Structure 1
Amino acid sequence: MAEIGSSAFRKSSIVSVTVPSGVKTIGDSAFRECENLSSVTVSEGVETIVQNAFRACKSLSSIVLPASIEEVGASAFFQCTAMTSAAFAPGSKRVRLGENLFTQCYYLMRVTLPKSIDCISNGMFQNCLMLPGVSIPQGAESIGMSAFASCSAFTAVVIPDSVETIGMAAFASCPLENIYFTGTKEQWNSIGKSADTMQAVSKAQIHYNYVPAPAPDPDEGDDNDNNNGDNSGGGTGDGDNPGSGGNGGGNNPGNGGGQQSEQMPFAKGKTFTVGQFTYKVTKAGAEAELTTSKSTASKVTIQTVTGTDGVKYKVTSIGAKAMQNNRQMTSLTIGADVKKIGKSAFNGCRKLGKVKIKSKKLSSVGKQAFKGTKSGMKVKVPSKQLKKYRKMLKKAGIKVKQVTK
């Protein structure tokens, strides 16, 4: 059987299906409105998925398409309202993607596109309300009309320098914060954009000459938000250092070491774990807060960290109770980007006797942040901030005489 015919199983009560390798084409509306269909396996060898093939399969939660796929037709997964992830297996073929492909997949949160596509088609991700961002592969020549319209969680996008036009309303009603463009500023300015698109992108920060992180294999691992791999940073602090492991510079977020869990920078609110430290993104692709730690090291440095997305994040805040009751830490270095230390952040760290604050930007220290630390603990701060920091740290449980420059 080379083809599953048009409407072959439409509105049936089928729960799961495996499309065998001998099938080359899944026909128009073949599984359309199979509302109980929750599991679909498409075998290597399938080349074409025709329009509406899985439209309104409202129990289908994920899909992985094989490297043999050459074309996916319009609205193939339209209104798959339970779908949370969609991925194309790595392959060398250029894949044609139809219009409204994932429209109204309200819970779609993770997408891995083919290595090569012709375009982001009209309405391709329209009304994907939970989608935080997409990495568009090199080779795509256009972003169609309303491609990401009304994606209310969409804060970041990777756009290749192969793109020549961005259509009307492509990012309409998107809270777009960061655009990662693989070309130069001059190339970006040469892209044809409608007036409303120019207004939408003007609100975002554009990072030029971006180098995308390597794409993951969608068959490996799971969809957990936190990737607890071997990427624990490679900073220069002593002991347990949740530091930087990337090699990016300037506006290039860089490619960090370790397994990448996504192809693009994390959206605001995303959490990730590096080594014994967990962070929450406070500014997409740029800044994060240290929220919790399971560190058992005696010496800890808090500074820029490379996330599991391969992007460098400045650690600008230390959350409330982030390292409370740590019984092993004796020495702490707080990096130059930290602006805020939360309430009880280091409360009960009774062996902590030495703190060095490198930051000149510190604006607040929460109550009891250092209460219960070692008696006589010494705190070293930048000389020009001595008076200001003494006042702030006094409220946190540190005596004035303990703070020196």
Structure 2
Amino acid sequence: MKLKLVSILLAFCTTAGSMTMPAFAERTQAAQIESESNMTAQENGSVKEQEWEGYTYKELTDNTLEITGYKGTDTALTIPDKIEDKPVTGIGRGAFAGLEKVESITIPEGITNIGSSAFQRCGSLKNIVIPEGVTVIDEYIFAYSAKLESVTLPESVTTIKEGAFGECRSLKSIAIPKNVDSIPDYAFTYCESLAQVRFPEGLTYIGENAFSGCKSLQNVEFPNSLKDIDYFAFQNCTTLSNVTFPENLENIGRDAFLGCESLQNVEFHEGLIRIGEGAFRSCSKLESLTLPLSLTEIWKGAFTDCNSLKTVNYAGSKTDRSNMRIVGEGNAPLLQSKITYGSTGKSEDFAPKKGSQLKDNGVTYQVKTDVSELAFVKTIDKASKIKISDSVKIDGICYTVASITKNAFLNNKNITKVTIHRDVKSIGKSAFKGCSKLKKIVIQSHILESVGTNAFKGIHSSAVIKVPDLNLNDYKKIMKNKGQGSKVKIVAL
């Protein structure tokens, strides 16, 4: 039976959102195009479909049969275990997909293989039991079956594939069989009624978007075997309030818990190495955080908009924390919290406050209003060529160098060239005033917003200021009448 699932899917995508097709829908569409192509090839090949009491089937090379579709009108189906004394062992790819009126399907013992998208978009199907002997829950097998409330998986299952239960919006609970060691991408994405998941000991990996949008999921207890939670895995699980993280967990991926706005306390155990970019972004009720000594990296924006975060408990000492790599950008709530060190019990500010001065390699910086940013204040370096870095690591925190303060290089007679890196947004008043030997200024930043009065007054009369080509016209306006002589050129890099 040739399926017309692509057109069904495209119709769905048009009504769901005309501007951009969701990533999950794109993946499902690609799978269905492949499915239809394969079925057409089969129809044109030597193996022909036959029909029996509304079911279409084909004979396999081992003399067993595979159900390929259903043309009847019944709403309660019992798949035959035999047809003309030949055993039925498989359900083909997309076999029952799009049968919106079918309410129940009974699968007999003896079925060992069920193809991808086999029950996709069975819009009235509520319950199904997969028989013992099936080892693979194939990709998109139940995707978009909106009324499916329960699925019983046998212990024989060892593999669940991508998108298997994606957008089964009525699915309430699932028990993952004991031999499954990974949950793939989009496996349960937007299962909005999913309130209970039982993970087996032995599970090591949870994939991208595996449980994203599961807004009824309130409690999650991971097995001790889990090591890696990938990108967006629990994104927008808005009622998730309690998560038990295991001792062997090593990595929290990018945006893994983005938008989990009910999460209040997070406790990690020894073994965790990395918290990825945006991992807990917009967890607006997150109040406390417990970090292990094993943690070495906190990436950009891991705690963006976690504005309730007040307390961090850290297993190590202040020296241990200084050996970490914490990207400051987007992590102001973390940097503004209080940290308690487990080694001493002492509590203090996690990071220096606004206005504090920090020193690194002879350069003095000042903490800005956004405490993840620094202003370049001055340097004791007598070199002729100076580079103003885009970031600097001080006591384990990677700050963004976002500005050059007024008078930063005032009357510096040594400097001949300065390179200003990509994150600088402002150059202060008289920053390079009186730098009479300064002949070359290289600005790599695309986000320069302002240049202060007399910033370039007194630089070499034939100096050249090089700026990004895309910003040339805007930067000429910004730098107009900043004290430089008429022969100073502003050109593209």
TM-score of the superposed pair, with normalisation by structure 1: 0.47
CA radius of gyration, larger in: 2
Name the structure, 1 or 2, with higher relative contact order (CA <8 Å, separation 6+).
1
TM-score of the superposed pair, with normalisation by structure 2: 0.39
